[in-house]
């Protein structure tokens, strides 16, 4: 059976190290999902939330100019869907 050098190296490592690397791999695999959940939050709040919700997200470091999968920014969504002018004003005052 032909086994690559990399596979031989992984097989010879201690179990703890293999588990550690496995969990690092799983984390890196799911990191985009974690980021997209945060970004979705800013888009939902821009559409349906209020200015206080926007300020809370800004304090947590959310990118106010991020774009969703359709290329829309929170400001674009707020101006289209949200009836609260304070949301739009808050977004603009904070760099959107």
- For position 68, what pLDDT does the model report? 85
Q: Pull the structure tokens for residue 15.
A: 């179990």
Residue 65 DSSP symbol: T
Q: What is the pLDDT of residues 16-67, one digit of tens each?
A: 776 777 777 766 666 555 555 555 588 889 998 888 988 988 888 888 898 8
Angle at 49 between CA 70 and CA 54, to 5 degrees: 85
Q: What is the CATH number of the domain that holds 30?
A: 1.25.40.20
Total structural domains within the chain: 1
Angstrom distances, CA of residue 79 to CA of 19, 65, 75:
48, 14, 6
Name the residue range of residue 11's domain. 5-93
């Amino acid at each position: 059976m032909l086994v690559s050098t990399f596979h031989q190296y992984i097989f010879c490592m201690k179990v703890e190290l293999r588990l550690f690397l496995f969990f690092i791999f799983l984390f890196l695999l799911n990191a985009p999902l974690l980021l997209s959940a945060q970004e979705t939050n800013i888009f939902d709040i821009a559409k349906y939330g209020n200015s206080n919700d926007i300020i809370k997200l800004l304090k947590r470091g959310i990118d106010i100019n991020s774009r969703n999968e359709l290329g829309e920014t929170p400001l674009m969504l707020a101006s289209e869907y949200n009836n609260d002018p304070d949301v739009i004003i808050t977004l603009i005052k904070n760099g959107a």
